Amino acid sequence: MEVEAGEARERTTEFLTGYVEDVGVDGVVLGLSGGIDSATAAAVAVDALGSDSVYGLVLPVGSSDTENMRDAREHAEQLDIEFDTLDISGVVEEAVDLTGVTDREAVGNLKARVRMCVNYLYANERSRLVLGTGNRSEILLGYFTKYGDGGVDVSPLGGLYKTEVRELAREIDVPEKLVTKTPTAGLWEGQTDEDELGAPYDVVDVVLEEAVDRGNTVEEAADAAGCTVDVAENLLALVKRSEHKRRTPPYPDFGRS
Shared domain for 28 and 102, answered yes or no, is yes
pLDDT given at position 76: 97
CATH number of the domain that residue 99 is part of: 3.40.50.620
Q: Is 138 part of the annotated catalytic residue set?
A: yes
Mean of pLDDT over the chain: 94
**Is 213 part of a structural domain of the chain?**
yes
Nearest alpha-carbon partner for 75 in 103, 43, 37: 43
Shared domain for 105 and 12, answered yes or no, is yes
End-to-end, the C-alpha distance of the chain in Å comes to: 36
Residue that terminates a domain, selected from 130, 151, 184: 184
Q: Would the CA dihedral through 150, 152, 153, 154 be positive or negative?
A: negative
pLDDT given at position 1: 61
**Is 191 part of a structural domain of the chain?**
no
Shared domain for 11 and 62, answered yes or no, is yes
In the predicted structure, residue 8 carries a pLDDT above the cut 70:
yes
Predicted confidence band of residue 190 (pLDDT cuts 50, 70, 90): confident
Average pLDDT of 190-206?
Answer: 89
User: What are 83-118's pLDDT values in tens digits?
Assistant: 999 999 999 999 999 999 999 999 999 999 999 999
Distance CA 7, CA 231 (A): 31
**Is 155 part of a structural domain of the chain?**
yes
Total domains present in the chain: 2
User: What are 22-68's pLDDT values in tens digits?
Assistant: 999 999 999 999 999 999 999 999 999 999 999 999 999 986 788 89
Main-chain phi, psi angles of 129, to 5 degrees = -95, 150
**Is 118 part of a structural domain of the chain?**
yes
Shared domain for 90 and 180, answered yes or no, is yes
In the predicted structure, residue 251 carries a pLDDT above the cut 70:
yes
pLDDT given at position 2: 82
Q: Which entry of 47, 71, 138, 153 is annotated as an active-site residue?
A: 138
Shared domain for 154 and 241, answered yes or no, is no
Predicted confidence band of residue 192 (pLDDT cuts 50, 70, 90): confident
Rounded alpha-carbon distances, angstroms, from residue 135 to 42, 67, 123, 191 = 13, 23, 21, 18
In percent, the amount of the chain with pLDDT more than 90 equals 87
Residue that terminates a domain, selected from 143, 159, 184: 184
Q: Which entry of 37, 167, 209, 210 is annotated as an active-site residue?
A: 37
Task: Looking at 65-161, list the stretches that DSSP marks H as alpha helix, in order from N- to C-terminal side.
Answer: 66-79, 89-99, 104-125, 136-141
**Is 140 part of a structural domain of the chain?**
yes
Q: Residue 204 CA to chain centroid, in angstroms?
A: 16
Shared domain for 138 and 225, answered yes or no, is no
Shared domain for 28 and 77, answered yes or no, is yes
Shared domain for 95 and 148, answered yes or no, is yes
Cα torsion through 149, 118, 37, 136, rounded to 10: 30
**Is 233 part of a structural domain of the chain?**
yes
Distance CA 206, CA 224 (A): 7
Shared domain for 158 and 221, answered yes or no, is no
Average pLDDT of 221-236?
Answer: 97
Shared domain for 110 and 153, answered yes or no, is yes
Distance CA 44, CA 47 (A): 5
Rounded alpha-carbon distances, angstroms, from residue 161 to 62, 150, 181 = 29, 16, 16
Entry pTM: 0.94
Shared domain for 137 and 93, answered yes or no, is yes
**Is 22 part of a structural domain of the chain?**
yes
Q: Is 87 part of the annotated catalytic residue set?
A: no
Predicted confidence band of residue 237 (pLDDT cuts 50, 70, 90): very high
Q: Which amino acid is at 147?
A: Y
Domain of residue 96 covers 5-184
Shared domain for 234 and 159, answered yes or no, is no
In the predicted structure, residue 185 carries a pLDDT above the cut 80:
no
pLDDT given at position 39: 97
Distance CA 4, CA 235 (A): 25
**Three-state SS at 203:** helix
Residue that terminates a domain, selected from 184, 213, 231: 184
**Is 177 part of a structural domain of the chain?**
yes
User: What are 112-159's pLDDT values in tens digits?
Assistant: 999 999 999 999 999 999 999 999 999 999 999 999 999 999 999 999
pLDDT given at position 243: 96
User: What are 20-29's pLDDT values in tens digits?
Assistant: 999 999 999 9
